[in-house]
Chain A
Amino acid sequence: MKKLINSPDTVITDALRGMAAAHPALEVDVENRVISRAGGPAQGKVGLVSGGGSGHEPLHGGYVGYGMLTAAAPGEVYTSPVPDQILLATQRADGGAGVLHIVKNYTGDVLNFRMAAELAEDEDIRVVSVVTDDDAAVEDSTFTAGRRGVGGTVMVEKIAGAAAEEGADLDAVAAIATRVNERTRSFAIALHAGTVPAAGKPGFELAENEVELGVGIHGEPGRERGAMAPLHDLVGYALDVIHADLPVEGNVLVMLNGQGATPLIELYGAFAEATAWIEGHGATVTRSLVGNYITSLDQSGFSITVTRLDDELTRLWDAPVATPALRWGR
């Protein structure tokens, strides 16, 4: 393993110290591992808290700021944060109007956030949780833990954050978050697995002519292995799966996301293929993101997330945002 780290034990602390130094608009509690907006929550507005394993940067700490999250709790690498840490983030996000927990559907995240929500209720902070589950790679049935929450989480955090900034109440913000999640699907393809620092070797091995289809965001293997193919075919495969689950129609927001070790030249190539596929199916790409927004350490590959927009979601997407990783209109 060759990584730019001091030691596997200090990876997260070192990164948090760097975030604190780079972003004065953030308050970074390195010891307790909570990132929140400097100056505290806006009084009378709904707070937004998310969190999950580290290794997915900029998710979630990079999305703390005006128009998006109020606080984030980063866990150990690929491991959800603990309840005390989520409670602290919730306290720092509470401006008196309650707090929305945005939780990716992974067993550990769901359990720890649920315990934290109970602790927050004990302190008279009203918490509503929205669980994202946009991964079209997983069949949602009684035979799985349900679909995973992946790239759609970025859309949920942005759009619900805009609604909270406008002064919507907790139930309304939660309803918007739920609507975004329902209208969003993602699919990911990996070429090489990422390496967890504590493990020291890649999470799975792929031959030169193989790809992992439907991979999750923790290097956990996908549901099947396929043959390496030109970009056109890989993007087509991903969009076929998304389309079969939730038809791609009308105006759509498309995120072409890198998993951590994929150069932009490849992501733009993939975005060109995605746009051609979508327009060829009669839908219109009206908003887009191309870059690394939800990563898996140094995994190489891409994910595509498609959100079916309507006028309100478009307006909230366009609303000003000022975070380390997403910034426009302000």
Chain B
Amino acid sequence: MGFDTATATAWITTANAVVKEDEARLTALDAAIGDGDHGANLARGLAAAVAGIEEKRPETPGGVLVAAGRGIVAKTGGASGPLYGSALRRAGKALGDTADADATQLGAALEAMLAAIVELGAAAEGDKTMVDALTPAVQAFTALAADGAEVAAAAHAAADAAEAGLAATIPMQARKGRASYLGARSVGHEDPGAASMTLLLRALAEVTA
């Protein structure tokens, strides 16, 4: 099975459900080193993403991600709104009008997602941001896709890599976002953006399995 319109829709719907379920945990992570609104923001954003898809009823997986991204930008605010919104829009555009993306095409879309976040947030690996979860995930996904793996196997590896990337943010000192103001005091905490990104990638693995 590839990544078609139904799978793309299921990805966003599942992401909405798991973020809603983990809203309190994300907010607690953010309260420790940021300002404690990440869970509530992203839950609002993903609910808007689902509403955007229902309203537009896109006919391609790319269209689904573009509609989801637009919904997030329009309702979220904060830093996570533009970052997640632009990321999904860019991934959707990278898919073009493909009706059923294979692992290579979806890998390219995830690369476009990472590029959007790096560009907008001006963050690099090691800054203690969502980039630290997404970068190893994209690398794992595209490496498996290049070896001829199916979407499901690549997505599973990507979610595992994101989780490892998330764990690696704990000893890091933040250099971007509000956590950066804490300096050395940001060390010892999971980054909330990397945590929510990991949830999204785990949701992708779930719906493609």
Contacts and interface: CB of A to CB of B under 8 A. Distances in A.
Given A80-B78, A199-B36, A223-B182, A115 B73 contact: yes
Given A107-B177, A138-B181, A145-B177, A218 B77 contact: no
A108 B79 contact: yes
A275 B181 CA distance: 29
A75 B173 CA distance: 29
Interface string B165-193: 00000000101111011110100000000
Interface stretch (A81-89, A234-242, A279-287, A302-310): A81-89
Contacts of B121: 107, 111
A76 B77 contact: yes
Interface in A215-234: 216, 218-224
B6 interface: no
B69 interface: no
B81 A108 contact: yes
12 contacts: A78-B36, A79-B41, A79-B78, A82-B74, A82-B76, A82-B77, A82-B81, A83-B82, A107-B121, A137-B181, A145-B177, A223-B183
Contacts of B101: none
Chain A interface helix/strand/loop/mixed:
loop
Interface in A195-219: 196, 198-199, 203-204, 216, 218-219
Contact of A107 (B44, B74, B178, B182): B178
A108 B77 contact: yes
A145 B35 CA distance: 15
B37 A79 contact: yes
A221 B37 contact: no
A106 interface: yes
Contact of B75 (A53, A82, A218): A82
A84 B130 CA distance: 25
A144 B175 contact: yes
Interface of B: 27, 31, 33-37, 40-41, 44, 73-83, 120-121, 173, 175-178, 180-183, 185
Nearest to B27: A199
A196 B39 CA distance: 13
Contacts of B35: 78, 203, 216, 218-220
Interface residues of A, number: 38
Contacts of B175: 142-145
Given A82-B73, A82-B74, A143-B175, A107 B79 contact: yes
A77 interface: yes
Contacts of B173: 143
Given A196-B36, A196-B37, A198-B40, A218 B185 contact: no
Contacts of B37: 76-79, 196, 198-199
A109 to B, nearest CB: 9
A236 B183 CA distance: 23
Interface in A60-114: 75-84, 106-108, 111-112
A198 to B, nearest CB: 5
Nearest to B83: A111
A13 B96 CA distance: 40
Nearest to A106: B178
A148 interface: yes
Contacts of B81: 80, 82, 108, 111-112
A82 B8 CA distance: 25
Given A79-B37, A80-B77, A198-B40, A144 B31 contact: no
Contact of B178 (A81, A115, A216): A216
Contacts of B40: 76, 198-199
A129 to B, nearest CB: 15
A145 B82 contact: no
Contacts of B80: 108
Nearest to A142: B175
